[in-house]
Amino acid sequence: MKILLAMDDSAHSRAALEFVESMRWPFDAEIIMLSVASPMVVAHSLVDAGGLRLFPRSGGGNVQEHQQMVSSVERELRERGYPTSARVVSGDAREAIVETARFERST
């Protein structure tokens, strides 16, 4: 059995994690954590005008922050004895979740 746990920094993700941790899963269950960093979109004219430096780093697009979060959750689950794998991708979260579910179902 594979359990896909999509993670971000929301209260909903924390609640989903707490649910996963509270359940009794089959011995061979694997928890697959997925976090999706949204790409930062900047208008071309802002880049030409030098306005890009006016924008702070977007938390949604920072892959490193997503990797740190997923690593922390993965460590927490492994300490509880769950087999886990984790990945961070960039793109649209809806599409990434569906594509990951399809891929994992086929393997």
Per-residue pLDDT of the chain (107 residues; tens, 9 = 90+): 999 999 998 999 999 999 999 999 998 899 999 999 987 665 555 555 555 454 444 444 588 899 999 999 999 999 988 999 999 999 999 999 999 999 998 77
Q: At 34, list the tokens.
A: 């997925």
Q: At 93, list the tokens.
A: 């979260």
pLDDT of residue 98: 95
pLDDT of residue 62: 83
Q: Is the dihedral of CA 23, 99, 104, 85 positive or negative?
A: negative
Residue 43 to residue 9: CA distance in whole angstroms? 26
pLDDT of residue 56: 46
pLDDT of residue 50: 53
Q: Which residue has the tokens 């579910």?
A: 101
